[in-house]
Chain A
Amino acid sequence: MAVTSDYVLPCGRDVEEVWEAIDLSGEHMRSCPHCGAVRESLLVLREATAEMVREEVEPPFDLVSRVMSAVRADVRRSDVVPLPGDGLARISTRAVAAVLRYAADGVDGVRARGCRVVEAPESTGMDPVIEVELSIAITAGQVTHQAYDEVRRRVLAAASARIGVRLARLDLVVSDVLEG
């Protein structure tokens, strides 16, 4: 397919036509000084282009490690859950866990240990939902079953009031009993 360029020669042909016929030796090409000159230039261009193709400029030696550092940092950052709104704002699950542990610590005789936070399957940017597994240590003699309800109430409240996410599921595990 011929493409008409803006580079029309005095003989009426354009540069692209000369390029397409560069290896053919038609009568016009042999006799026309304009086409001949352009053909010579195109041959030089072709030669320099071949040299450019052969040229092996290597990337900096540490480019791969820089890329992989960025990828690893991204993987760490992806440990996040959305905050309510347009879905662009996010909070790390570790930050959420810290808030929830602090809330549980407010109950007498309760010490939060591990707190694993995951985004619930039904979660969306508009309505972020999390599921939490919280392990606690309790002090013997200080904790009644009301205390577990209190932990649950405070953790639920902290999730919605302090972070803005809905807590759909809270698994509470007593992992240790401390001497009172």
Chain B
Amino acid sequence: MSVAEAAALDDATLVARSRDGDMRAYEQLVRRYQGPMYRLALRIVGSTGDAEDAVQDVFLTAWRRLGQLNDDRAFIGWLYRTTTNQCLNVLRKRKPHADTELDEHESPAPRTRPDRAVEVNAQLDALQAALRGLTPEQRACWVLREVHGRSYDEIAEAIGTTQQSVRGRLARARAQLAEVMAPWR
């Protein structure tokens, strides 16, 4: 199978093949979704090391549980749920004082773009800092909805709560974030 052929395969095909023990098919799935899952994990846990560990655990768990997935097309939603859960567990286990040891989130490569771009980047940094002021569940709700565009239904399932509660957490998260962003008006 050439790389081009493999790249063209849809999720459901790759999931079905992976379930039969095809590790090459599974590797394609990992390649396809490691980016979004890593970014989600990084935004929720805030440190690159924990995000990497979480994503690695998620894909290993997913491999082991492929047999339990009823609908091959549901793989991506299931990944989002598992990653969110894994990240919230990491945060629950973390000692309270460890929050001060978080990375300065990824500010990849020095940002050298001038003027307006500098301001935008500074706003992004401020937003990343503000996210750390939310509770883990609020942060997960907000990131899943506003950055990854997941549905309320999916988020409720990922967090283990109701849609109503997700909307409540989102509202509080948004209000709190807006307050922190106020100096940038």
A residues with CB within 8 A of B: 1, 3, 5-7, 14-16, 19, 37-38, 40-45, 47-49, 51-53, 55-60, 63-64, 66-68, 70-72, 74-75
Contact = CB atoms under 8 A, between A and B. Distances in A.
A7 B175 contact: yes
Contact of A5 (B39, B42, B64, B175): B175
B147 A71 contact: no
B168 A57 contact: no
Contacts of A19: 171, 174
B23 A71 contact: yes
A68 to B, nearest CB: 5
27 contacts: A1-B167, A3-B164, A5-B175, A14-B175, A15-B178, A40-B185, A41-B181, A41-B182, A41-B185, A44-B181, A45-B127, A48-B124, A52-B124, A53-B146, A56-B39, A57-B39, A57-B42, A58-B35, A59-B38, A59-B55, A60-B52, A63-B34, A63-B38, A63-B52, A63-B56, A70-B60, A71-B60
B155 interface: no
A51 B123 contact: yes
Nearest to A8: B175
B26 interface: yes
Given A15-B175, A51-B127, 19 more contacts: A1-B167, A3-B164, A3-B168, A5-B171, A14-B175, A15-B178, A19-B171, A37-B182, A42-B178, A48-B120, A51-B121, A57-B42, A60-B48, A63-B34, A64-B31, A67-B56, A68-B26, A70-B56, A74-B63
A5 B168 contact: yes
Main secondary structure of the interface of B (DSSP, over half): helix
B108 interface: yes
B27 interface: yes
Residue from B21, B26, B39, B181 with most neighbouring chain A CB atoms (10 Å) = B181
A137 B42 CA distance: 59
Contacts of B43: 52
B172 A5 contact: yes
A63 B31 CA distance: 9
A48 B63 contact: no
Contacts of B175: 5-7, 14-16
Interface in B5-28: 21, 23, 26-27
B52 A15 contact: no
B59 interface: yes
B35 A72 contact: no
Nearest to A7: B175
A67 B168 contact: no
Q: B126, B127, B174: which has the most chain A beta carbons within 10 Å? A: B174
B64 A74 contact: yes
Given A15-B178, A45-B181, A55-B124, A67 B30 contact: yes
A37 to B, nearest CB: 7
